[in-house]
Each structure stands twice: as structure tokens, then as C-alpha cells.
Structure 1
């Protein structure tokens, strides 16, 4: 399985064309650190010596072995001087896997942090939390009697709420100065990666937004295109703004709905160059198309946008994209953490390397903070104008 990510709000989404390599991991400990390979392939007594001396001599409280081990791994990877070769702790690794699968065991509620630090729930209709009585705006104060504190990350809180389908989770919320307990049975929660609609101002134009390239994205996109066609759409706007990436295979499949032939080129140190091409068919290769992008369009989103632009299939409208064109392997470790290691670079069909520069839209249109506050979308307006020419 190949993945493509960037860093995105609160969850660690890193890399482009990440390939998950299922190899045996090694969780380091004081004993194991002493037998780590040295420069000549033998043991590294220096690291073991430093570990023991610091542990024995430090004046204050000694960090746990896990904390020191994780720090040692990060220090080792920093020597590679590559921002995308890094260590990911178990919670982020687990959340990453769940989001890419498009489903998980949970209570069916959005979790957000208010400006005052409170953690607020927004239950999805007809999902476990809503059926149990949780209401919009309830403040989450405890999960399984563990207090929710301001210093907890949203990732950590989400993991407390998630678990095996069919298992109960006890939460406590605050509502109108009252504390209310709820026992909620977790269910399978599916999070769609594709949303779509006909534009009210142009009912023959279909609008499709992809938030992440996950396992279900291809099927969701085809369903969206078929539904829009049935409702009279004769052209499409594909919105990839703030899409931080996802699965490489999904990105190739999505690009294949709009273009045929070459989608991207990958270059590696070990096997040289190889190509990825679209499959047969394609749900929207005949429809006029424009693509919305911005600085949050990264990784797999840039693969799709780059293929569409290079193949002359549609114009990019918006702002310069993120610029992430390296390839990582995900190497799982035995405690559920993982290493992300850069192994290659990727290029658009026109052999453009986008790292550090991104894709330049065919039509540059800014969307300012004032636009966002006022609910204005000049990029969408310009895309519609382009299709109506």
C-alpha cells in the first residue's frame, strides 16, 4: 500500500507516495540500544555508554525509557537532514491508518477545540452519540473517568473515544452547568472522502470536493460523477483545496477518471525509474473540467492536479500548491509506532519535480481571510466563469 501525505491540522500526515513496508520492527530499550549497529555493522557501545551515564548521573527526574528511546530514534533520523524521514508515535500511526481506511469504531461525533480550550462535541445524525442523547455543543469533560484537560491533543482525545465496534465507552459531558454521563456503544463510522452537488447558480455544472485520497475514494468519486450526470451535469469542478494527500493508488485511480495514460513518474536509487498510468475507462474523461487548488493541496492532490495540467485535460485555478514530491516507506515498529523513510522522488507526466515549488495554477486567484469570513469564494466563481466560456 502506497501513501501520500503532508502535515495537516492536528494529525500527522506526512510524505508523498508513501509505501507501507510490513517488516519486523524493533522497539529499543537500554539492553537493545547496546546492540545497535555501529559504523562498521557491529555493536555501538558508545550509545549504550551514554545512555547509562546519563541515567546514573542526572540530577533531576530521569525520563522514562520510552521517552528516551523515542528521542534517540528522532535524533538518529535527524542526521539524515530530511524533513520527511521521521518517527511517528503509536497514536498518530493509528489515526493515520484509520483515516486512510475511511472507517473506524467510534461514537459518531466531531470533536473540536473552542478558543477557550473546551472540547466540544457535534454528534452526527442517527449515529451512536446522537442516539444516546449527546447534543450539539456538549462539552466533553471525561472519557472512562479520565478527565479531558486543556493540554490534551485532539488526536489523543479521539483515540480515547475510538475502539472496537460493539464495545461501550463511558463519557461525561457538561451541558448548561450540569454534568451528564452517557454510555455509548461504538459502531463502524464511515467518513466520506468525496462530497458533491450541482451548483445552484449553474445547474449543469457539477461540483466535486475530495478531502483525502483514502481506500473508498475511487468508488465514491465514480458514484458522485454518475449521480451528477444523472441530474444533468455536463461539466465538472474538482476541488482539491486543502487536500493534504492520501493513498498513491487512490490518487492514480482518481486521476484515471479524468485522464488516460501516464499519471506520474517515480525515480528511486535502487531500481531507477518506473511509471504509474491510469487504468482503462474513466468516469469523466469526456466532461469539461477545471480544478481548484491552493497552498493546502499537497502530495496525492498534486499528483492528480499535475497529471490533469500536464495532459492538458483541464485548467488549475487558485493558488500555488504545497510542493511535496518525495517518496517515503512506512516501516512499522513493534509498539505500533513507525518510521517514515524517504526512498525516491516523483515527477509529473511532463517530468516536473515540484518539491519546494509546487504547481502554478493556469489562472491565479487568491482567496483572502476576509473572503473566508464573509463566505465568499472567488476561486469557485472564476472556475465557473472558465467553464461557461
Structure 2
């Protein structure tokens, strides 16, 4: 298996997998996105695995741990609180305005807030509005990736139908729970209806308005009767294609659009982590599997009108040019990035090796121009190794993500800290969206000699991973820093060490993602599909999925921290209340 994570939490400049959150792979909203290859960045280790859905083909299966989870920007600043009638009215008006302006993700965020305080018939109406805005956002973000438009234009109808049949077979055989085919089709037809009404999509094709309206009416009819499925088998999911393909061609979308769009929509309808990669994303992924990517070496977070630099990769083009964490990226070349999605930004930052790029950032009250050359970038997962505290005796390391080198990098960093006099250790996994499951397990084994780490369940099959190995475990007193953006493989790491009382966990409740995605390369198209194939449990066998891990010591961010967009400049600043709490506990030996 080739394992990696694409997360909406952290994404490199080349995108990531749509953070359905994209993800990712890929990723607007309250997310950090690693900008290098494919949505979510990440690194990989691999072994050969055989396909379970084809006796004729071997495939590489990529196990993904997606943050990608419905983290949204909170435009009104009222998230998590019960709204009064006046507040609710304001939020619904903001949602209405955002929808009218086709700011679909923003509108969805407002509708999500409104749902917290509404009951009865109004709740159903708002839920429908929310579904519609999410569908529009997903469609628009998909077609901002020009490689999907090109795929639709270049693919013949029979090829598109073969692609759709393969997707259906994969879902039927590999999805981790049983789902209703009719319900899946209805949700997919909603996405198709949204596509026929999406202005951006229409701008990418030579549309015949009369034909498009006819196609829309037929989709609405199919939505009304579930496509005639009446809860039949997955094989019946192909029935709507023939009826719609002719209308799609008449509308100017091409005959292959229906099967191609259904393939993407089926994956989107499964859960917030499952999705199908575009050809562009898939190529970036295969490039990154070679151990490098071409870019400028920045990680971005999308929490405002413009993306903010969360971190810069050491010795990368951005760092050497003078870009800092916390800089706001406002222009690439002549393109203003206000309101641009992660996909839109990644396409403008992407380019060939040794090509030049000019970017403009806002730093405080001034705007700065930087010109640099795109180069091969290698991004370590363990960073910022240093001694902190009054007497410089507390070691600090940040794990940005879990990849195949993480345990080796972490061991090396801790060895250096101990030689320099460290008597305690802070491991920072805030805004770590996950990564390779085995990498997180190996990292836990550095600190545990025995005991369960995680139980992974795929259908009826259960696999228990335990501590133990040839290397002596590290004994330093330890605290782990977490927040609401700590997810997936990072949660495996935190939960195991917390529940075995090997480390004190400090910060805010984590994201709560305890499912596994597998990325299958496709036989019938230049892309791959990511499907949730398993779930997992920590050592106490109590699932934290959609609930998160409660820290041993809860430390909320200060008002100043909450006002600032996340970046490493904030995390390591003097106002970092979570970091200061960890330092205080370790310096005074008050862990347990």
C-alpha cells in the first residue's frame, strides 16, 4: 500500500485533494492547506497490494487519512453559540446575500450556523438550502480545475460509461458501510442539477441555453422518482446515463459529461472524505510519490478573503525570497486572489521547474513583491526543533504531518535535543491534519514499550496494532499540544499516548476523524478515486469519530489568538497560551 494524507487542514501550494472540507485533497473555509503536490501534501511509503475488485489487475492502494472534514470559516464570529432570534435573522440575511453573490462556501457556513438554533419546518428548509449551497460549491470548485473540463471534452461516451461503471463497482465492493443506491443517486442528481445552474461551469463550455434547460428539466424529473431505481442494485445506477447523454450533448456539455459528472458526484455523495481526483491532482500525486514536488514551498490557510501563509519550507524558494509565516498572499502575477478557492490558488502557483513566479503579500500595513523560481521542494514533517523555557531545557518539535520518514526524523530530533540538555519534551501537532497511519503508529512506538495503539476495522476484518520493537523507547517527560485542527493520524498519535498516560495532552478538543480512506488508481481514466474503506478505535475502544479527543488540560486560545489567522508565527509567539501552559508544566514537573 502507498499511504499518505491529503487534508484540508494543511495544504501545499499545488493544492491537495479537495478538502471537502477539498480537502481537500483538497480544500476554502477554516483550513490550512499544504501547497506542494496534490491536495494535502504528505509523504509516502508503499508496498504492493492486489485489487479486490479486479482479478486481472494489480493496483497500488493509497491509504489516506483525511482531515478534510467540514471545518468551515465562521464569518459571523458566532460559531458554537445558541443564536437568539435577532442573531438568527442576521445570519440568515447574510446567507441570503452570500448565496445571491454565488459565494457558495460562505453561504453554506451561514446556513450551518443557523441550523444550530432552528427546529421544526424551518430546520428542514435551511437544511435544503445548505445542501444546495454545498452542491454548488463542490461543482464550482471541481470545474475550476481545468483538467476536468478537458477530461469531459476528450473522453468518448463509452469511455466515460466504463469509468462510471468502475466507480460504482468500487463503491459497491469497498465502501466501509452499506449504503442505499437510490439515496446515493438522488444526492448525485442534486449535484448534476446544481451543475446545470452553475454560472462558472457554463462559462467553461459553449452552452446552448435551450438544450441546457431541457437537460435540467430531465434531471429534475429523475430526482423526483429516484431515477426509477426503487432501491434496486448498484448496477441500475447506469440507467439515467443513456437518457441524459443525448440532452447533455445538445446542451453543449458533450455526451460524455453525464457519466463523468455522475462518477464525481457519486463519490461526493458518500461522505465528507470520499471523492474522485481530477487528472491534474492525480498527476501531482504520482509526482510526489517520487519523493519531491515542484513549487515555491509554502503552506496556506484559508480563513479570510485571501490565503495566509501558514508556514514556509526551510531552504525553499519562498523562504529564501523572504516570505514569512503570517504573510497574506494577495496576488500571483497579475491575478488578485481575493475569494479564490484553494484550487484556483494552486493553479496559479503551479508551474514547471525553473520557471519564474511573482507574488505579492501583505505584511502588516505594507505590501511586498517577491520574485522567485519554482524548484524541487522537499518538505520534512518534523520541524522547528529547538530548546525553550527559562533555562532552555524543554525540547520542542512540531510534527506538521505524518509521513514515512516521521519516526526517523522525530527520533533524530529528540536525540539532538537530549544531547543539548533537554529534560522534557513538547510535541506540537496543532493543525496537523493526519497522514500515513503506519507513520503515526511508528511514532507512538518511539515512546511506548507495550500496549495497544489502534484497532482498524475493514468490514468484518479487524487489525490490532501494538507497541513494541527492537528500539528502546524514549523516556523524556512529554506533553502533546493539540487543537480543533488536529485530526486523523495525528489523533491516533495523541490518543494512544494519552490513554497509556505516557503524555499529557494540552489544548482544545481535536477534530474527531476516525475513518480511513483508500485511493484506487482507475483503469478507465487518468485519475484516482478516494473512498472511505475502514474505521478505527483508540486503545480504550471508544470511538472519537465526530466527537474529538478531550485534552487532559483544556487551554482555550486568547482573544488575540482567535482574532489572528493561524500561522507558525502565532503558534510560536509569546501569546501562544497552549505552548506556555506546556512549558510551565514541564518546567515544574507537574505532568501527572
Task: Determine the C-alpha separation between the residues in 2 that align with 1:310 and 1:174.
Answer: 46
Deviations 1:54-94 (CA, angstroms, capped at 9, x unpaired):
22554xxx3356764442123323554x2222223234445
Q: CA–CA distance in 1 between the matches of 2:319 and 2:546?
A: 44
Q: Matches of 1:348 and 1:123 in 2, distance apart?
A: 32
Counterpart position of 2:463: 274
Match of 1:342 in 2: 532
SS in 2 for 1:197: strand
Alpha-carbon deviations, 1:321-370, whole Å to 9, x = none? 10011122111236543212122210001212110111111111111342
Q: Deviations over 1:110-168 (max 9, x none)?
A: 77899775999x9978655788x8988897554xxx9676575454554565567xx43
Equivalent of 2:241, from 39, 42, 48? Answer: 48
Q: 1:102 to 1:354 in 2, by over 3 A?
A: farther
Does structure 1 residue 257 correspond to structure 2 residue 258? no
Distance verdict in 2 for CA 1:353–1:134, change over 3 Å: closer
Cα distance in 1 for residues equivalent to 2:308 and 2:548: 35
Instruction: List runs of 5+ in structure 1 lacking aligned partners.
Output: none
2:156, 2:449 → 1: CA distance? Answer: 50
- Mapped partners of 2:287, 2:466: distance in 1: 27
Residues 1:386 and 1:135: Cα distance change in structure 2 (over 3 Å)? closer
Distance in 2 between residues matched to 1:285 and 1:386, nearest whole Å = 19
Residues 351, 155 of structure 1: alpha-carbon distance in 2 compared, 3 angstrom cutoff: same
Aligned to 1:191: 379
Match of 1:354 among 527, 539, 544: 544
Are the equivalent residues in 2 in contact too, given 1:113–1:119 (CA < 8 A)? yes
1:173-195 C-alpha deviation (Å, 9 max, x unpaired) = 679xxxx99784x5431112212
Instruction: Compute the displacement of 1:302 (Å).
Output: 0.2
Q: Distance in 1 between matches of 2:399 and 2:8?
A: 17
Q: Equivalents in 1 of 2:510, 2:370: separation in Å? A: 45
How far off is 1:211 after superposition? Answer: 1.0
TM score, norm. by length of structure 2: 0.53
Q: Secondary structure at the match of 2:159?
A: helix
Aligned match of 2:397: 208
Task: Decide which structure has greater helix share.
Answer: 2
User: Does the residue aligned with 1:316 lie in a helix, a strand or coil?
Assistant: strand
Do the aligned residues in 1 keep the contact of 2:479 with 2:504 (CA within 8 Å)?
A: yes
Compare the two structures and name the one with the higher strand fraction: 1
The gaps in structure 2 that reach 5 residues or longer are 26-43, 52-57, 62-150, 169-231, 362-368, 565-572
Normalised TM-score (structure 1): 0.77
Match of 2:474 among 268, 285, 292: 285
2:158 aligned residue (8, 12, 31): 31
Greater RCO, 1 or 2 (C-alpha within 8 Å, sep 6+): 1
Q: 1:308 is paired with a residue of what secondary structure?
A: helix
Match of 1:311 in 2: 500
Residues 77, 123 of structure 1: alpha-carbon distance in 2 compared, 3 angstrom cutoff: closer
* Number of the residue aligned with 1:321: 510
Structure 2 Cα separation of the partners of residues 115 and 324 of structure 1 = 24
1:363 aligns with 2:553: yes
Contact 1:112 1:154 in 2 (8 A): no
- Note if 1:8 corresponds to 2:9: yes
Please report how far the alpha carbon of residue 9 of structure 1 lies from its aligned counterpart in structure 2 after TM superposition. 5.3
Contact 1:293–1:320, Cα closer than 8 Å, also in 2? yes
- 1:378 matched residue in structure 2: 577
Provide the aligned C-alpha RMSD in A. 4.3
Match of 2:355 in 1: 169
SS at match of 2:393: strand
In structure 2, how many angstroms separate the alpha carbons of the residues matched to 1:207 and 1:285? 15
Residue aligning to 2:264? 74
Cα 1:347–1:215, aligned 2, differ >3 Å: closer, same or farther? Answer: same
User: Offset of 1:237 from its aligned partner?
Assistant: 1.0
Matched residue SS, 2:529: strand
- Whether the aligned pair in 2 keeps the contact of 1:170 and 1:181 (CA below 8 Å) is no
SS at match of 2:497: helix
